[in-house]
Chains A and B, each alone.
Chain A
Amino acid sequence: EVHLLESGGGLVQPGGSLTLSCAASGYTFRSYAMSWVRQTPGKGLEWVSSISASGDRTYYTDSVKGRFTISRDNYENTLFLQMNSLRAEDTAVYYCARFMDCGGHCAFDYWGQGALVTVSS
Chain B
Amino acid sequence: EIVLTQSPGTLSLSPGERATLSCRASQSVSSGHLAWYQQKSGQGPRLLIYDASRRATGIPDRFSGSGSGTDFTLSISRLEPEDFALYYCQQYDTLPRAFGQGTKVEIK
Contacts and interface: CB of A to CB of B under 8 A. Distances in A.
Interface of A: 4, 35, 44-47, 50, 59, 61-62, 95, 97, 100, 102, 105-114
Given A44-B101, A46-B99, A47-B98, A105 B46 contact: no
A107 B54 CA distance: 11
A47 B97 contact: yes
Contacts of A110: 47
14 contacts: A4-B44, A35-B97, A44-B88, A46-B99, A47-B98, A97-B44, A100-B47, A102-B50, A105-B31, A105-B33, A105-B92, A112-B44, A113-B44, A114-B44
Contact of B50 (A46, A47, A107): A107
B16 to A, nearest CB: 29
Q: DSSP majority for the B interface?
A: loop
B20 to A, nearest CB: 21
Contacts of A45: 45, 88, 90, 99, 102
Contacts of A112: 44
Interface residues of B, number: 26
Interface string B84-107: 000010101101111111100000
A9 to B, nearest CB: 14
B21 interface: no
Chain A at the B interface: mostly helix, strand, loop or mixed? Answer: strand
Interface string B21-41: 000000000010101010000
B76 interface: no
A62 B95 CA distance: 10
B83 to A, nearest CB: 18
Nearest to B51: A107
Nearest to B94: A105
A47 B96 CA distance: 7
Contacts of B97: 35, 47, 50
Nearest to B34: A107
